[in-house]
């Protein structure tokens, strides 16, 4: 089953990449990697690009999978909540332009701060459960892919997508749309790795939940329920 899944991952990424590149080649500018909001906007944004919308869709699917694991796979609930909260932070970050435009300036930073604070508090309070759940998983293909995606998003993209780097490389030929195109496609690759890692994590979490006996906490909760009297 796993080889078939990985083959489907490969074909899916290849098809998506081909569609995006073919769309831009057939109709230049259709990816909307530099959209000007108004006549006074000299910088432009890529937030209206199909690439950005796909990234948001990937984060939404990942968040739903983590919610499913947290609901149905009791042994992996602490890790699933942490990963789901991380996906929510990414989600707010990708919506920063629209949150600032339609709600309030820097509103996305407030949402990220609140979510991060809750994650830190939850992780500290349930650190033993997270540690136990984590060591049931690591090492695993899902965790490896999630780690690779996070490295690209947090360490690689901020440096490679840095405008002064592209100004130094291109010199007088610098165009911001080039920098934005490279940055968005690298981010898309990272989110695709994150999605595949999430799917593999979901499979593994389900397998762990099926293999493990009923948790002690569940037994205790059942023991506190009132017992029926009599035969029926």
Q: Residues 5-19: pLDDT tens digits?
A: 999 999 999 999 999
Q: What is the pTM of this model?
A: 0.84
CA distance 86 to 91: 9
Residue bearing tokens 């990942």: 62
CA distance 212 to 75: 8
The token duo for 96 is 């920063």
Q: Residues 161-218: pLDDT tens digits?
A: 888 999 999 898 888 888 999 999 999 999 999 999 999 999 998 888 877 555 544 5
Q: Residues 57-98: pLDDT tens digits?
A: 999 999 999 999 999 988 899 999 999 999 999 999 999 888
CA distance 191 to 197: 10
């Amino acid at each position: 089953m796993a080889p078939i899944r990985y083959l489907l991952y490969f074909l899916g990424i290849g098809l998506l990449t081909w569609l995006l590149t073919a769309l831009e080649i057939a109709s230049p500018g259709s990816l909307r990697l530099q959209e000007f909001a108004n006549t006074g906007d000299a910088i432009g944004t890529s937030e209206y690009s199909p690439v950005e919308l796909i990234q948001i869709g990937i984060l939404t699917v990942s968040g739903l999978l983590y919610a499913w694991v947290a609901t149905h796979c009791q042994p992996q609930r602490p890790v699933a909540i942490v990963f789901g909260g991380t996906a929510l932070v990414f989600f707010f970050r990708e919506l920063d332009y629209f949150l600032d435009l339609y709600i309030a300036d820097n509103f996305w930073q407030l949402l990220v701060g609140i979510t991060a604070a809750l994650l830190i508090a939850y992780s500290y309070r349930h650190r033993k459960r997270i540690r136990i759940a984590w060591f049931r998983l690591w090492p695993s293909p899902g965790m490896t892919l999630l780690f690779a995606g996070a490295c690209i998003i947090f360490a690689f993209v901020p440096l490679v997508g840095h405008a002064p780097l592209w100004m130094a490389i291109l010199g007088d030929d610098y165009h911001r749309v080039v920098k934005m195109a490279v940055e968005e496609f690298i981010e898309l690759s990272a989110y695709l790795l994150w999605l595949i890692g999430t799917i593999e994590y979901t499979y593994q979490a389900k397998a762990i939940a099926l293999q493990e006996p009923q948790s002690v906490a569940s037994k205790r909760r059942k023991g506190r329920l009132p017992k029926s009297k009599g035969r029926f």
